[in-house]
């Protein structure tokens, strides 16, 4: 039958797993990646913008990109994660140039414009620090009822953190923004470390792609070679965690996850800063928090889509 592709906007700090997420969204028949917005995080906002444009070039799709926040709302910026994602964002792959330009509008305004133009139809999928999303909420609070839903890669309920014992990287990089996003009255799904740490792929999975889809395959094979070295050294696993791509999978296959429903807040002070936890504030709408995942199914849908879509 006819598949009505879901419109999705990815807010991103590319980033190796961000690249996987963007390729997946660009290649899935069930998703229509209408735009990307960039944010500081794994790399600077400028590099994130260029990388998002370059990923569009690789996809051969003219996906608009708007540049977003260079720094968090309130706190001093953390250093970029070059030891995880490489100096230019994609491991050892040298910086690539692009002929395309970012749209002439800050990311948060562009997000509000697109959400209003496509009222009821857009899934907002942030896979970086939540600064642009908080700025969009401040700019136009009515977007809460105009997005179809927001599906966030960040935090964790039972998992603990990956930067500190308590904080996951995207929340850690702008905890104040994340708390504003969790406080807003909208349909939030959280894909956090509880599930993303369960989905680990060895290098051979990416190397295998070079045969069927050489351009994307060699890109991901080279980038994940670097990324997996980090995982080996940092936590002793022989593969990389698929944080951002499985978050995009959750946008159209929520059935592949199990959830708990709680209002969420972010710890904004002291030693546990950046921790996502259940809020006692009954005014906050419960978020749908993934706590279980069908690991084999999300891996299969990811690699099948990359192999057959390009
Ligand atoms: C998140 O942090 C970034 O390094 C990844 O791209 C992902 O979005 C995982 O904690
Ligand atoms: Ca990311």
- The atom number, within ligand 1, closest to the CA of 17 reads 6
Clarify whether 304 is annotated catalytic.
Answer: no
pLDDT at 2 over 80: no
Q: Say whether 243 is catalytic.
A: yes
- pLDDT tens, position by position, 47-92: 999 999 999 999 999 999 999 999 999 999 999 999 999 999 999 9
Cβ-proximal residues to 38 (8 Å cutoff; 6+ apart), any chain: 11, 12, 13, 14, 45, 48, 49, 51, 52, 65, 66, 67, 68, 102, 107
Name the pairing type of β-strands 31-38 and 149-153: unpaired
- Residue count of the chain: 310
3-state SS, residue 124:
strand
- Which residues contact ligand 1 via a Cβ below 6 A? 15, 17-18, 42, 81, 84, 127-128, 153, 162, 168-170, 243-244
Q: In the structure, what pLDDT confidence band is assigned to residue 303 with cuts at 50, 70 and 90?
A: very high
Q: pLDDT value at position 132? A: 99
Q: Whose CA is nearest to atom 4 of ligand 1?
A: 42
Of the residues 17, 243, 244, 252, which is catalytic? Answer: 243
CB 119 within 8 A of CB 142: no
């Amino acid at each position: 039958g006819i598949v009505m592709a879901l419109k999705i906007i990815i807010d991103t700090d590319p980033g190796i797993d961000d690249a996987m997420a963007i390729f997946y969204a660009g290649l899935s028949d069930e998703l229509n990646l209408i735009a990307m917005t960039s944010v500081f995080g794994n790399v600077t906002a400028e590099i994130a913008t260029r990388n998002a444009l370059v990923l569009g070039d690789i996809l051969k799709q003219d996906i608009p990109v708007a540049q977003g926040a260079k720094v968090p709302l309130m706190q001093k910026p953390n250093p970029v994660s070059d030891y995880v994602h490489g100096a230019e964002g994609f491991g050892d792959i040298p910086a690539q140039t692009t002929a395309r330009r970012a749209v002439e509008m800050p990311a948060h305004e562009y997000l509000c414009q697109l959400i209003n133009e496509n009222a009821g139809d857009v899934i907002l999928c942030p896979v970086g620090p939540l600064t642009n999303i908080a700025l969009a909420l401040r700019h136009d609070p009515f977007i809460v009822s105009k997005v179809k839903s927001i599906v966030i890669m960040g935090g964790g309920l039972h998992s603990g953190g990956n930067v500190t014992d308590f904080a996951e990287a995207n929340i850690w990089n702008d905890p104040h923004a994340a708390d504003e996003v969790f406080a807003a009255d909208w349909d939030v799904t959280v894909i956090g470390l509880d599930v993303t740490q369960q989905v680990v792929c060895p290098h051979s999975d990416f190397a295998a792609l070079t045969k069927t889809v050489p351009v994307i395959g060699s890109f991901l094979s080279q980038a994940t070679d670097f990324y997996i070295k980090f995982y080996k050294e940092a936590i002793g696993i022989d593969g990389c965690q698929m944080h951002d791509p499985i978050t995009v999978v959750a946008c159209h296959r929520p059935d592949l996850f199990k959830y708990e429903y709680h209002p969420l807040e972010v710890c904004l002070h002291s030693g546990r800063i950046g921790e996502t936890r259940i809020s006692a504030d009954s005014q906050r709408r419960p978020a749908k928090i993934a706590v279980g995942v069908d690991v084999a199914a999300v891996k299969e849908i990811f690699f099948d889509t990359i192999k057959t879509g390009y």
